[in-house]
Amino acid sequence: MAKPYDPKDFYYRKAKAEGLRARSAFKIDEIVKRHRLLAPGQAVLDLGAAPGGFLQVLADAVGEKGVAIGVDLEPIRNLGKRWVKTAVVDLLAPDALDRIRALHPGLFDLVASDMAPKTIGVKVTDEARSLELCRMALGIARETLRPGGAFVTKVFMGGDFQVFKGEVAALFDDVHIARPQATRESSYEVYLLGRGFRAP
């Protein structure tokens, strides 16, 4: 039997204790370390970065000689690290890529997305909206990743998940499904990971 939902569970309390802005920081930390996605001096783009939990981990992974860019519809409070840049960007806007390139004109080693729709409790609708965001993230990754780079996106399992997985597989050498330990037991979210980007 699944445990009842606890908004202030172990990982929530752990994040607070460690000065992390969201419990999701532990998810990306596990994925990046397990799959060795980033090294010091590299460049990373975080889509849907507010409040900054992912970005804190990604910024530490690339270090002060790297570049960490975070964009969201909501402002992201300053992390206090000069190699981190953030902006309010609507990824649906026609100038979204230009806005991202203004922050970092080069290509990225990793594009990560923790974007999720506002759920309404209707599983089919929530899954469809999740995939819309994932495809938007994949579109950004296609335009901004270096050859050989990696892509990570949160996605709700079900619906057209296998179709989307195939779309990722068409662009990357390896595709993996990750369900980090910090994922709530009742959640049907997973992270889809592509490695070895094959630039179109």
Q: Is 90 annotated as a binding residue?
A: yes
The torsion angle over the Cα atoms of residues 63, 103, 151 and 165, rounded to 10 degrees, is 160
154 is catalytic: yes
Number of other CB atoms surrounding residue 60 within 10 Å: 18
CA angle 161, 133, 14 (to 5 degrees): 90
Q: Is 158 annotated as a binding residue?
A: no
Q: Is 54 annotated as a binding residue?
A: yes
H/E/C letters for each residue in 96-152? HHHHHHHHCCCCEEEEEECCCCCCCCCHHHHHHHHHHHHHHHHHHHHHHEEEEEEEE
Q: Is 46 annotated as a binding residue?
A: no
Q: Is 9 annotated as a binding residue?
A: no
Which of 107, 111, 159 has its CA nearest to residue 136? 111
- Decide the pairing of beta strands 145-156 and 108-113: parallel
Catalytic pick among 8, 85, 154, 165: 154
> CA 84, CA 195: separation in Å to the nearest integer?
23
Query: What residues form the annotated binding site?
Result: 52, 54, 72, 90, 114
Residues recognised as catalytic: 154
Binding-site residue numbers for S-adenosyl-L-methionine are 52, 54, 72, 90, 114
